[in-house]
Amino acid sequence: MKSLIITAHPEKWWTTHLIAQTYAEQQEKNWNQVEIIDLYNTDLNLDFFSFTNKNNEKNISIRQSKILEADELVFAFPVRWWESPAIFKNWFENILSAWFAFEYQNNRPVWLLNKKAKMFLTCDWPKIFFSIFPISIKYFWKYMRLEFCGIKLTDFVLFDLMRIRKKKSGRENKIIQKVQKIAK
């Protein structure tokens, strides 16, 4: 099995990188292949305004082939303003694009990818805030983004109150244990 982990946080010491590394290490213990793509440390320079940039076309094609080769996708990012970081949204829009992840036939969407995904999100707010609104962040990602591309969300974990809990000892050990359990 091959896992492709995409993480998006500018600080290397932040928990999303710990999650990505923990998941990768557990998969490698299980003799699986793993690749981590850190969107803040990549050669993929997506231009928001130009879809005709030849370098971007090549880089997008390389990233899309990595998705096709992977058996599962793992996303680790912080929630900012009820959403993923802008760099992750830009990656999602450019990489999981029409005619690669989905297309329209007879005015109906057809999902082109047959993948599984896991999501590990971090946030500062209490978890309850993300579930009381009509469309929670989990269901938004599951139904309106991932399944639209043919990607089945198998695990969704939201680690809340990160800045508060970061000060408490043992918090990172609990996060590591939970990620390891899901990776097994």
**Torsional sign, CA 20, 23, 29, 32:** negative
Over residues 127-154, the pLDDT tens digits come to 787 777 767 888 889 988 999 899 999 9
Domain that holds residue 85: 2-183
State the CATH number of the domain containing residue 88.
Answer: 3.40.50.360
Query: Mean of the per-residue pLDDT values for the chain?
Result: 85
User: pTM for the complete prediction?
Assistant: 0.88
Q: How many domains does the chain have?
A: 1
- Region 55-70 average pLDDT: 86
Specify the range with the lowest mean pLDDT, choosing from 7-16, 20-29, 55-64, 173-182: 55-64
Spatial distance between the Cα atoms of 143 and 152, rounded to a whole number of angstroms: 9
Residue 163 parent element (H or E): helix 162-166
pLDDT tens-digit readout, 86-129: 889 988 988 998 889 988 889 887 888 999 999 999 988 877 87
More confident residue, 107 or 65: 65
d(CA 141, CA 91): 15
Residue 9's nearest CA partner among 122, 144, 154, 161 is 122
